[in-house]
């Protein structure tokens, strides 16, 4: 309970920073909006998704990419706190040692929510629509934010394992680009070479995107949907992936925090 209460105090501290430096929210929103406009109006005419409008097909991928990339803020924020000595000040206070990590991941989850709301408005403007009931739509967003929260713990481990904000930024993005683009986020996987198609169908990003499309009624039909157990059960595969990430990276983040704080 102390970790939750103290974590919320740290989260509010991080949210106040966003309020005082709104550029953080603005620039984290500009990139996904650019992707929406580029793929919807520039590349969209050359890409087909059988059984669904491409702009509806696209949005689940953009949402997933946005929260995945947004998780890198966690690592950069922790790396910045380490270099500025904020962590040392926290250690001197009578607060839970887990509060720093809980607060950081919670505030970044809230930041993701704000960005996704803006992205949803942008998607509606370019033609994205859902075709299921409100409960399924809400479940899709819930899955999306849970995935973003899990990814924040990976980013936290990275941010606490390096010694500068610049390295944390590079290390947070360098593996994210191939993971995101080698998936069904922007094109159906049946357009890829056979080997890459297999990799893409089992990519956790593809599972999240496919689950969102199912929940929102934006899924393509036929071979464009993908193949294998992961694409037949994207919701279950997504939950398994999220659980594995949390089980592995929450302890790793805590260990990295203790090691970094004792430097």
Tell me the DSSP string of 207-247.
HHHHHHHHHHT----GGGG--SHHHHSHHHHHHHHHHHHHH
Two tokens at 28? Answer: 């984290």
Classify burial at 133, counting beta carbons within 10 Å of its beta carbon; exposed 0-12, middle 13-18, buried 19 or more.
exposed
Residues 6 or more apart whose CB falls under 8 angstroms from that of 130 comprise 136, 137, 216, 217, 218
| Cα separation, 190 vs 178, whole angstroms | 17
Q: Using DSSP, state whether 164 is helix, strand or coil.
A: coil
- DSSP label at residue 175: T
For residue 4, give its domain range.
1-261
Two tokens at 23? Answer: 């550029």
Domain count, the chain: 1
In a structure prediction context, what are the per-residue pLDDT tens digits for the chain, which is 263 residues long? 656 666 666 777 777 776 766 666 676 778 778 878 887 777 766 677 788 888 889 899 999 998 998 888 888 888 887 777 766 676 666 666 677 888 888 888 888 888 898 889 888 988 899 999 999 999 999 999 999 999 999 999 998 888 778 888 787 778 888 899 899 988 898 888 888 899 999 999 999 999 999 999 998 988 888 888 999 999 999 999 999 999 999 999 988 888 876 66
| Cα separation, 9 vs 6, whole angstroms | 5
Q: In the prediction, which pLDDT does 25 show?
A: 67
Whether the model clears a pTM of 0.75, i.e. scores above it, the answer is: yes
Handedness of CA 163, 165, 167, 168 (dihedral sign): positive
Q: Using DSSP, state whether 188 is helix, strand or coil.
A: coil
Q: Using DSSP, state whether 195 is helix, strand or coil.
A: helix
Q: In the prediction, which pLDDT does 91 show?
A: 67
Helices (H), 38-164: 54-70, 72-84, 86-91, 99-126, 134-161
Tell me the DSSP string of 5-74.
HHHHHHHHHHHHHHHH-THHHHHHHHHHHHHHHIIIIIIGGG---TTS-HHHHHHHHHHHHHHHHHTHHH
| Cα separation, 85 vs 106, whole angstroms | 21
Residues 6 or more apart whose CB falls under 8 angstroms from that of 133 comprise none
């Amino acid at each position: 309970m102390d970790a939750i209460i103290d974590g919320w105090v740290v989260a509010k501290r991080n949210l106040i920073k966003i309020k005082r430096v709104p550029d953080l929210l603005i620039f984290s929103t500009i990139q996904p909006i650019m992707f929406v406009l580029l793929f919807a109006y520039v590349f969209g005419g050359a890409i087909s998704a059988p059984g669904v409008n491409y702009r509806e097909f696209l949005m689940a991928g953009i949402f997933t990419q946005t929260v995945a990339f947004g998780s890198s803020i966690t690592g950069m924020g922790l790396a910045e706190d380490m270099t500025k000595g904020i962590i040392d000040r926290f250690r001197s206070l009578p607060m839970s040692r887990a509060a720093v990590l809980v607060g950081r991941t919670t505030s970044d989850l809230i930041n993701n929510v704000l960005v996704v709301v803006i992205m949803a408005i942008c998607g509606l403007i370019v033609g994205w629509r859902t075709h299921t009931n409100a409960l399924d739509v809400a479940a899709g967003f819930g899955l999306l934010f849970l995935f973003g929260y899990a990814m924040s713990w990976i980013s936290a481990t990275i941010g606490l394992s390096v010694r500068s904000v610049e390295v944390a930024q590079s290390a947070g993005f360098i593996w994210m680009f191939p993971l995101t683009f080698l998936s069904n986020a922007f094109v159906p996987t049946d357009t890829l070479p056979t080997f890459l198609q297999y990799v893409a169908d089992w990519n956790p990003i593809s599972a999240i995107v496919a689950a969102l499309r199912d929940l929102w009624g934006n899924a393509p039909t036929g071979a464009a949907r993908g193949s294998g157990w992961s694409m037949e059960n994207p919701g279950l595969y997504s939950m398994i992936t999220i659980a594995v990430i949390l089980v592995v990276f929450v302890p790793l983040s805590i260990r990295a925090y203790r090691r970094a704080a004792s430097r």
